């Protein structure tokens, strides 16, 4: 099956036309040749940008010399109203200090410890969707609800029905649609004193989200001081100090980190889950194969049960490959470089694009096809090593990647075990890039309960 992807633009367009296309949607602004090129250069009057698909260049930028390729300030301009100085946006010593505080919360058996909270959220999502059986549902909204429930349960030990959690989720849905991935500063090098033209709605929702998060952080700090705080992710991070400096996060810093945990842990997981459900709805044979694999698992399944769900896991991997939640990662080179015999001057924009790499014609066989079985083929191992980075790579790999992989398989298993999904609405969803890869007009799926024989 060949699922939908955006139309590609002609190879040659004017700068103004390209900027208009880019502003509307960065995915459909890309020419077809970029899906087979190892590198491409894009010039504007203000800066040069280099798209790097070559696995050697990707490894150089993300793994071998990441300090020489810090995150670009151009992307920070669009995200800072919500994320402040979170670990997603910082560089250098500030980032290193933040990771030294955050990483211990995700090490060792922490994913296993979080599994009961993930299971409770997955069962709640299953029940909520099952109550609407017989209808056509906008599945991105349902996936967002379930993924947000996971984050609140593992962060603050509260379900999404909690009043503050529900309000954060509601405001974030508004923010997700009002916030472009890039704003004016992505194209024009504005001085520090120049006002940033964030959309009014994005500024408002960002402020409201951060105010609500501040309430959660303040309440948790009081519980920590009283000795009554649960041993969840928020408590672990708020009570961890940086071994190099002896300091932990203050309240403002914690608000920044919670904001990115919510964005990275909810928005990205929701995107991947929604596309995975769409792919199964469009490929009924694959959906029934998942149903057979998960038949017999119990509501109280354990962490160890997930490792046995090989095909379900491969479906989720294939969804991450075809629709990587974060389509592009932007870095900036601190020193002059030579990429593929081409001089790259200092301060250029270096783009590593999972969207292109995951569909690259020289890395993957039949790259646009939905084929979960590709993950079992021995020849695919090199493709995976060279061309699969849904959670980034190197030192800046997402610390919650392990949680995301378990969460996706768990949700698919419980949903497909009890429910059957099929396309609805008459049109294929068109992927576009907001904060993550979403469908332009949502993903409509018809949902029906499985009979006793399908359980």
Average pLDDT value over all residues in the chain: 88
Structural domain boundaries in the chain: 15-454
pLDDT of 152 strictly over 60? yes
Residues 42-52, mean pLDDT to the nearest whole number: 83
Quote the DSSP letter at residue 31: B
135 or 109, higher pLDDT:
135
**pLDDT for 109:** 78
Please count the other Cβ atoms lying within 10 Å of the Cβ belonging to residue 453. Answer: 6
User: What is the predicted pLDDT for the residue at 22?
Assistant: 57
- Summarised one tens digit per residue, pLDDT across range 332-384 is 999 999 999 999 999 999 999 999 999 999 999 999 999 999 999 988 899 99
| Range among 82-86, 204-208, 269-273 with highest mean pLDDT value | 269-273
Cα–Cα distance measured from residue 156 to residue 149, given in angstroms and rounded to the nearest whole number? 10
User: Which tokens hold the place of 105?
Assistant: 């919360």
CATH 2.170.190.11 fits 15-454, yes or no: no
Separation CA 55–CA 193 (nearest Å): 39
Whether the CB-CB separation of 317 and 377 falls below 8 Å is answered with no
User: CB of 354 within 8 A of CB of 329?
Assistant: yes
pLDDT of residue 313: 98
> For residues 76 and 86, what is the distance between their CA atoms, to the nearest angstrom?
10
Q: What's the burial of 72, exposed, middle or buried (CB within 10 Å: 0-12/13-18/19+)?
A: buried
Question: CA 340 from chain center: how many Å?
Answer: 30
Tell me the mean pLDDT in the region 79-98.
Answer: 90
> pLDDT-based confidence at 25, cuts 50/70/90?
low
- Percent of the chain past pLDDT 70, that is, above it, reads 88
Cα–Cα distance list, 126 to 42, 133, 146, 305 (Å): 46, 11, 9, 18
DSSP 401-442: HHHHHHHHHHHHHHHHHHEEEEE-SSS---EEESSSEEETT-
With contact defined as beta carbons under 8 Å apart, do 277 and 265 qualify?
Answer: no
> Cα dist. 269→85, 124, 154 in Å?
22, 16, 14
Residue 352 β-bridge partners: 329
Confidence grade of residue 172 (pLDDT, cut at 50, 70, 90): confident
Q: What are the counts of helices (DSSP H) followed by strands (DSSP E) for the chain?
A: 16, 11
CB count, 10 Å around CB of 368? 15
Owner of token pair 């995975």 = 276
Burial of 167 (0-12, 13-18, 19+ CB in 10 A): middle
Contact in structure between 428 and 434 (CB atoms under 8 Å):
no
- Orientation angle between helical segments 139-156 and 268-282, nearest 10 degrees: 140
Of the spans 71-75, 236-240, 423-427, which averages the highest pLDDT? 236-240
Q: State residue 380's pLDDT score.
A: 87
Average pLDDT of span 392-413: 95
Which pLDDT band, with edges at 50, 70 and 90, does 454 fall under?
very low
Q: Look at residue 187 and tell me whether its pLDDT is greater than 60.
A: no
pLDDT at 176: 66
The DSSP call for residue 52 is E
Please give the full DSSP string across 442-453, using - where no structure is assigned. --EEEEEEPPGG
294 vs 280: CA distance, rounded Å: 14
Rounded CA separation 313/106 (Å)? 21
- In terms of Cα–Cα distance, which of 361, 364, 335 is closest to 348? 335
Q: Which residue carries 């040749």 as its tokens? A: 33
The mean pLDDT value for 141-170 works out to 94
Distance between CA atoms of 98 and 383, rounded to whole angstroms? 32
The whole-number pLDDT of residue 15 equals 55
According to the model, what pLDDT value does residue 179 have?
55
Confidence of residue 181 (pLDDT cuts 50, 70, 90): very low
Q: Residue 57: pLDDT above 80?
A: yes
Residue 62 is inside which H or E element, if any?
none
- Predicted pLDDT at 238: 95
Least confident span in 69-78, 83-92, 117-126, 308-317: 69-78
For the segment 279-289, the average pLDDT, to the nearest whole number, is 98
Confidence band of 195 (pLDDT split at 50, 70, 90) = very low
| pLDDT for 426 beyond 50 | yes
């Amino acid at each position: 099956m060949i699922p939908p992807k955006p139309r590609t633009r002609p190879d040659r367009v004017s700068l103004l036309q390209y900027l208009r296309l880019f502003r509307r949607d960065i995915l459909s602004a890309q020419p077809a040749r970029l899906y087979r090129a190892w590198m491409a250069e894009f010039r504007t009057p203000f800066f040069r940008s280099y798209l790097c698909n070559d696995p050697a260049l990707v490894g150089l930028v993300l793994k071998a010399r990441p300090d020489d390729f810090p995150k670009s300030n151009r992307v920070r301009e669009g995200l800072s109203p919500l994320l402040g100085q979170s670990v997603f946006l910082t560089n250098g010593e500030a980032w290193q200090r933040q990771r030294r505080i955050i990483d211990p919360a995700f090490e060792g058996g922490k994913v296993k410890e979080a599994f009961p909270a993930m299971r409770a959220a997955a069962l709640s999502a299953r029940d909520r969707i099952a109550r609407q059986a017989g209808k056509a549902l906008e599945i991105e909204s349902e996936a967002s609800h379930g993924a947000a429930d996971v984050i609140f349960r593992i962060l603050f030990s509260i379900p999404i029905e909690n009043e503050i959690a529900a309000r954060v989720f509601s405001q974030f849905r508004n923010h997700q649609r009002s916030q472009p991935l890039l704003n004016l500063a992505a194209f024009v090098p504005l001085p520090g004193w120049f006002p940033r033209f964030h959309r009014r709605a994005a500024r408002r929702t960002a402020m409201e989200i951060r105010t609500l998060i501040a309430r959660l952080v303040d309440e948790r700090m009081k519980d920590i001081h009283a000795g009554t705080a649960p041993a969840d992710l928020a408590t672990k991070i708020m009570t961890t100090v940086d071994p190099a400096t002896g300091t932990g996060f203050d309240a403002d810093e914690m608000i920044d980190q919670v904001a990115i945990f919510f964005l990275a842990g909810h928005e990205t997981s929701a995107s991947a889950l929604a596309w995975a459900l769409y792919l199964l709805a469009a490929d009924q044979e694959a959906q029934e194969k998942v149903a057979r694999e998960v038949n017999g698992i119990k509501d109280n399944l354990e962490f160890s049960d997930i490792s046995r769900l090989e095909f379900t896991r491969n479906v989720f991997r294939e969804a991450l490959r075809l629709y990587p939640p974060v389509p592009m990662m932007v870095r900036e080179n601190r020193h002059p470089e030579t990429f593929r015999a081409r001089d790259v001057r200092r301060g250029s924009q270096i783009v590593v694009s999972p969207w292109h790499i995951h569909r690259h014609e020289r890395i993957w066989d039949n790259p646009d096809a939905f084929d979960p079985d590709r993950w079992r083929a021995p020849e695919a191992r090199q493709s995976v090593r060279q061309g699969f980075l849904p959670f980034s790579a190197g030192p800046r790999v997402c610390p919650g990647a392990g949680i995301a992989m378990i969460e996706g398989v768990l949700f698919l298993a419980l949903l497909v075990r009890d429910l059957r999904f099929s396309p609805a609405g008459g049109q294929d969803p068109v992927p576009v890039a907001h904060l993550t890869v979403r469908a332009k007009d949502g993903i409509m799926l018809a949902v029906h309960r499985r009979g006793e024989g399908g359980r």
